[in-house]
Amino acid sequence: MDLRWWIWIGVAVFIAIVGYIWLNTPQELKPAVLSVESISESRITLARTPAGKLEYRKFLTRVVPYFREGAHEFSYVLQGRAVGFLKNRDIEIQPGAFLVIPRRTALGLRITSPEPLEILSFYAPAPNGLDEVQVLIGDVFPPGDPSSLRPQPLPIDESDIKPQVVHVATLENKELPKGSSLFEWTYLAKSAAGSVALVRVAERVQLKERSPHFLYIRQGQGRIIVGDQILEATAGQVVILPNAPTRIIERVGDERLEFLLFSAPALREKDISN
């Protein structure tokens, strides 16, 4: 190999390293409202901090089985239906399903609907590019955790959360256990690294200054005050809430305002108030 080849190899390695660092360096968060319906990419990061990452993903035929080495995953199904497995159980998911996928827990899905499977995924802590590990097991999904097919079994992970599928629609006519007359809420999942809460707002709710949050509006319309900025958001939109002294979410109109609240580190009860 002559000198020119070594120069080209050096340049390629340098570009790869710079690209990896850039992709995994959190950008400064700014208040924003994002419409999920306008996303054309099959996979895109919507927001990222060192503690958490929010991502949109679209699958046409299947979700190749994978697990994550270091991050918990909390995924909400926006559209589509699928069958498959989560760790050692068979699952069937549809719009409104919420998946709790602890680190080192395998997931594999086959899409059964004519439309693609669209998922909003939150990871805590924010994973790097090497965190997702695919498990190639062919076209047939066996029951159980495919990590058993690896030459060396995965280490047992003493996770503080358990794998499960929550159908959020089953909570629609139930009173949520926490809150006040102005709002009510409950945890859908909570770990030391992050949490996802279901929040309903009758009038208003305020988030204490501590860490950024991400919202997905399931129902209704809201006015969000972040510092000296005012945002408007409606069902099907994502709201990026950077840390600020003032963060207030108010209901607009007669319809109930309901949203998923993604937090890393985990939301504490004293972080949310009237």
Residue 211 to residues 19, 76, 225, 255, Cα–Cα distance (Å):
27, 22, 16, 29
CB 165 within 8 A of CB 86: yes
**Residue 60 pLDDT grade (very low, low, confident, very high; cuts 50, 70, 90):** very high
Q: According to the model, what pLDDT value does residue 194 have?
A: 96
Q: According to the model, what pLDDT value does residue 4 have?
A: 67
As a whole number of angstroms, the distance between CA 112 and CA 2 comes to 54
- Rounded to the nearest integer, the mean pLDDT of the chain is 87
In this model, does residue 45 exceed pLDDT 70?
yes
Residue 2: exposed, middle, or buried by beta-carbon count in 10 A (0-12, 13-18, 19+)? exposed
In this prediction, what percent of the chain has a pLDDT beyond 90? Answer: 70
Q: According to the model, what pLDDT value does residue 7 have?
A: 67
Q: Which H or E element spans position 272?
A: strand 272-273
Between 17-21, 43-47, 101-105, the lowest mean confidence (pLDDT) is in: 17-21
DSSP per-residue letters across 13-68: HHHHHHHHHHHTSPPPP--EEEEGGG--SSEEEEEE-SS-EEEEEEESSEEEEEEE
User: What does R_g of the chain's alpha carbons equal in angstroms?
Assistant: 20
Q: According to the model, what pLDDT value does residue 162 have?
A: 92
What structural domains does the chain harbor?
A: 39-149+157-168 (2.60.120.10), 170-273 (2.60.120.10)
Q: According to the model, what pLDDT value does residue 154 have?
A: 47
Q: According to the model, what pLDDT value does residue 134 have?
A: 85
- Mean pLDDT, to the nearest integer, of 189-197? 96
As a whole number of angstroms, the distance between CA 123 and CA 121 comes to 7
pLDDT digits (tens, 9 = 90+) for 126-137: 998 889 988 766
In single-letter form, the type of residue at position 48 comes to R
In this model, does residue 146 exceed pLDDT 90?
no
Q: According to the model, what pLDDT value does residue 148 have?
A: 45
Residue of higher predicted confidence among 153 and 162? 162
Q: According to the model, what pLDDT value does residue 61 have?
A: 94
Between 71-75, 144-148, 194-198, the lowest mean confidence (pLDDT) is in: 144-148
Residue 91 to residues 100, 167, 188, Cα–Cα distance (Å):
12, 12, 18
As a whole number of angstroms, the distance between CA 145 and CA 259 comes to 32
For 94, the token pair is 């549809």
pLDDT digits (tens, 9 = 90+) for 232-245: 999 999 999 999 99
Residue 96 CB neighbour total at 10 angstroms: 16
